[in-house]
Amino acid sequence: NRVVIEEFLTGREVSVLAFTDGRTVRPMVASQDHKRAFDHDEGLNTGGMGTFAPSRFYTPALAERCMKEVFQPTVAAMNAEGRPFKGVLYFGLMIDGEKVRVLEYNARFGDPETQVVLPLLKSDLLDIFQSCIDGTLEDQPVEWEEGACVCVILASGGYPVRYEKGKPITIGRMDEGIRLYHAGTKRTADGQLVTDGGRVLGVTAKGRDLEEARAKAYANVEKIHFDGMFFRHDIGFKL
């Protein structure tokens, strides 16, 4: 009975996660997710096939504008509605030149954004959480490393539509510093690691810059195998 017509948004999608104690908002480094299943943004939308941080596209000027036009007003509006919020807010932004639009909000970290954001956090996460609870975020250091981080998702053949689970996974020796996030895996009764979801593993590497992080992540992707495994080859190439 009701038709909703929405503006078709084009531009660059940037995810900004932010800590808040209900008053102060402290954004984390901005990241970019790759939502389509295949290289060059082809195929269906997924939960995310890979991420990188920081986003070079998200300039300090843009960050300042988003703080004024999006982040602070969001927290203020929740307070005005009598729904003060403490924790992590996820701002899914679409940025097209001068236009900044909010595509989605989540009251949580992002996946796979968190995989590339938290490794760059220098400050103690527990202290930050505590300051969100205590309402003292304004005085809490939230510092970030200079480098970059890349996460490549290894997915099950057929994801995001139909895929089989239970494929044995083999993992070679990961290089020093690689973080391998298990998203859809499990161990069988006899101890075999097998696939148990669409997005199976997130191979995550830090580097001095995006190029180094990307090279390290992809070098380690090569050491993992399961039947039907696929991944995007262009994570972090389109900035």
Closest CA to 16 of 6, 26, 8: 26
What does the DSSP assignment read for 105-118? Answer: EESS--TTHHHHHG
Three-class SS state of 215 = helix
Least spacing, CB of residue 109 vs ligand GLY, in Å: 7
Q: How far apart are CA 231 and CA 23, in angstroms?
A: 40
Given a contact cutoff of 8 angstroms between Cβ atoms, the answer to whether 104 and 13 are in contact is no
- Nearer to ligand GLY by Cβ, of 47 and 228: the residue is 47
Q: How far apart are CA 7 and CA 87, in angstroms?
A: 30
Which residue is nearest to ligand GLY, using beta carbons? 110
**AA letter at 171:** I
Give yes or no for residue 136 binding ligand GLY (CB under 6 A): no
Three-class SS state of 65 = helix
Give yes or no for residue 48 binding ligand GLY (CB under 6 A): yes
Given a contact cutoff of 8 angstroms between Cβ atoms, the answer to whether 148 and 53 are in contact is yes
Give yes or no for residue 160 binding ligand GLY (CB under 6 A): no
Q: Choose, by CB under 6 A, the member of 27, 50, 54, 110 that binds ligand GLY.
A: 110
Give yes or no for residue 87 binding ligand GLY (CB under 6 A): no
- Nearer to ligand GLY by Cβ, of 110 and 236: the residue is 110
Give yes or no for residue 123 binding ligand GLY (CB under 6 A): no
Q: Choose, by CB under 6 A, the member of 22, 38, 106, 194 that binds ligand GLY.
A: 106
- Nearer to ligand GLY by Cβ, of 14 and 193: the residue is 14
Options 106-114, 130-138, 164-172, 173-181: segment touching ligand GLY (CB under 6 A): 106-114
Least spacing, CB of residue 159 vs ligand GLY, in Å: 14
Tokens of 77: 């509006």
Give yes or no for residue 196 binding ligand GLY (CB under 6 A): no
Q: How far apart are CA 43 and CA 220, in angstroms?
A: 25
List contacts with ligand GLY (CB under 6 A).
33, 47-48, 106, 110-111, 113
